[in-house]
Amino acid sequence: MIQNSLGIKYSDRIQGETAENLETAIAYYTEALSVRTRKAFPQQWAMTQVNLGAAYSNRIQGETAENIETAIACYTKALSVRTPKDFPQDWATTQMNLGTAYSDRIQGEKAENIETAIACYTEALSVRTPKDFPQDWATTQMNLGSAYLERIQGEKAENIETAITCYTEALSVLTPKDFPQDWATTQMNLGSAYLERIQGEKAENLETAIACYTEALSVRTRNAFPKDWATTQINLGSAYGVRIQGEKAENLETAIACYTEALSVYTRNAFPQYWATTQMNLGTAYGDRIQGETAENIETAIACYRNALEVYQPQAFPLDCLKTGRSLGNLGYNTEQWETAIQGYGVAIEAVEQLCEWVSSPRRRQQVLVDALDVYEKMVQACLKAGREDLALTTIERSKSRSLVQMITDITLEPKTASDEQLQRFRGLRRQLLVLSQLWEGEIIDSSSGDDLTPQPPSLRGNGEQEVSVSGDFPQVPLSNGDLGGSPQVKPDLGGSANINLGSNLNTQRQNLQQQLNSLQVEEFTPTESVLSEFTQRKQF
């Protein structure tokens, strides 16, 4: 049907704005489905559903999370017709696309999404064997490798080795002579695996990663494949940013040059997500920069992180927001720019809370909080340094972290130049925190009820079908509020008295809290430093 064909043409179109081309493609596919109904033309209907799903997977306009959910729905509908018995090849193709969508999924738990993606790719490989469909087998191996590289479950070192094996297997078919583009994509992904590799010598792994990215760029030129060129430049910059061999100052200059090159393609209007990731990486490079004026480098880094956060809003991209906010906060904290630190940690905490709303597993929810404890801790310290004690207490209320209460109870912040009024406020705050800590430890008992009541701390991607490459996203997870009922409200009293109001059902809260604390088994917290994001790419059909 002409509408489906037009949709394919617009999906593959190079001229014009990519975002507008995809919107036109979606409109044509949707129009085609008004004629190609499941009842009248089941095979064609399923084909169009797959094409529509691919367009939504690559869509730039709209909410990314919703676009991916639409893509998953399209692929799932197609699988109601494309069964392994009746249409094995088409079934395998759809399974692979579904795997790609789950790899990129933002909603739901990231660990479960990746496991679903691995299952989809593995299903596809039951049809796509190296003997019968060598190219399809190789591209599926490539996707499987990317899923293992992003895998959360299992041993990380083993997952990375599995990813390297998958990419190496794919390269036995995807040679630069026969399949130059797929070869280059696999080379780039292999580079990302070596960049993250745990086994082997770190310095050698990084040199291998740089070599893989450089090989990929022999095909992925700016004129021929601008997007792929830009993506590879980002990854190359990430490798140079952490390179061990060579002069560190020169490596960082190379990293900055790579990110700057990528931004000539990845503009905010055309590719906001890629632009934001590049801005975040550029911020990290400037924060570490040796050449140039230190103060100017720091200001540039802060500006880059803030640019990234314009796109990485906590409700839309919580993981990237958390990563970027933490980096901004750490930079502000380390340079004693307390308001900058508060801004970064504040948005990072919002991202944590969004993650907690998306996660269904209590254990996973708690792990998210544990992984972010450094953010809460430093947020509190930055608030106290800035004289914002009320915000410090609000942060405690949001954290559900015993360590925070104890940390602030023990903290001593009495500037030598503080006035008597300031000292009184600080001391009043510490007394209040001490009472809260004692309540937690069970040292204060509500004598009016006769129960031993220890309060819970307050909440915290065939025939006639398009083929496109999509970039695997850098993770986005989902988590849910861990509220267990009526939480005590701790309200700041900045005077000399300790004013703590407790909620009801404290004994039940105490028991539930103890179960949560036992499941955490965390004794200390290591602050997370600024991190870089690199891309892996997956194949869609």
pLDDT tens digits for the chain (541 residues)? 688 888 888 888 888 988 999 999 999 999 999 998 999 999 999 999 999 999 999 999 999 999 999 999 999 999 999 999 999 999 999 999 999 999 999 888 889 999 999 999 999 999 999 999 999 999 999 999 999 999 999 999 999 999 999 999 999 999 999 999 999 999 999 999 999 999 999 999 999 999 999 999 999 999 999 999 999 999 999 999 999 999 999 999 999 999 999 999 999 999 999 999 999 999 999 999 999 999 999 999 999 999 999 999 999 999 999 999 999 999 999 999 999 999 999 999 999 989 888 877 777 777 888 888 899 999 999 999 999 999 998 888 777 544 444 444 444 445 455 567 766 665 665 555 555 444 544 433 333 333 332 223 322 233 333 322 223 332 332 222 333 222 222 222 233 333 333 443 333 433 343 343 333 332 222 223 344 555 555 555 5
pTM for this model (two decimals): 0.72
Phi and psi at residue 490, to the nearest 5°: -100, 115
Supply the DSSP symbol for 259: H
| Distance from C-alpha of 528 to C-alpha of 371, rounded to nearest angstrom | 9
Position 51 scores a pLDDT of: 94
> Domain extents for the chain?
338-525
| Distance from C-alpha of 115 to C-alpha of 136, rounded to nearest angstrom | 21
Question: For the chain, percent helix, then strand, then coil, each to nearest 5?
Answer: 65, 5, 35
Supply the DSSP symbol for 528: P
Phi and psi at residue 401, to the nearest 5°: -120, 115
Rg (CA), the chain: 26
Cα atoms in the Cβ-side hemisphere of radius 13 Å centred on 351: 30
Residue 315: count other Cβ atoms within 10 Å of its Cβ: 13
Q: Which of 425, 445, 439, 446 is nearest to 492 (CA)?
A: 425
The residue type at 287: G
Which residues lie across from 290 on neighbouring strands?
Answer: none
Residue 426 Cα distances to 285, 341, 431, angstroms: 37, 20, 9
Element holding 314 (H helix, E strand)? none
Cα distance between the two ends of the chain: 19
**Max CA pair span of the chain:** 83
Helices then strands, each counted (H, E), the chain: 22, 4
Residue 36 Cα distances to 10, 70, 78, 373, 462, angstroms: 19, 19, 13, 53, 17
Locus of tokens 């792990």: 367
Instruction: Give residues with Cβ within 8 angstroms of 302, minimum separation 6.
Output: 283, 328, 331, 332, 337, 340
The residue type at 274: Y
Position 489 scores a pLDDT of: 28
Position 535 scores a pLDDT of: 57
Cα atoms in the Cβ-side hemisphere of radius 13 Å centred on 513: 24
Phi and psi at residue 186, to the nearest 5°: -65, -35
The residue type at 369: L
Residue 370 Cα distances to 355, 481, 482, 489, angstroms: 13, 14, 13, 22
Q: Specify whether the CB–CB gap between 513 and 441 falls below 8 A.
A: no
| Distance from C-alpha of 208 to C-alpha of 210, rounded to nearest angstrom | 5
Position 523 scores a pLDDT of: 27
Residue 247: count other Cβ atoms within 10 Å of its Cβ: 11
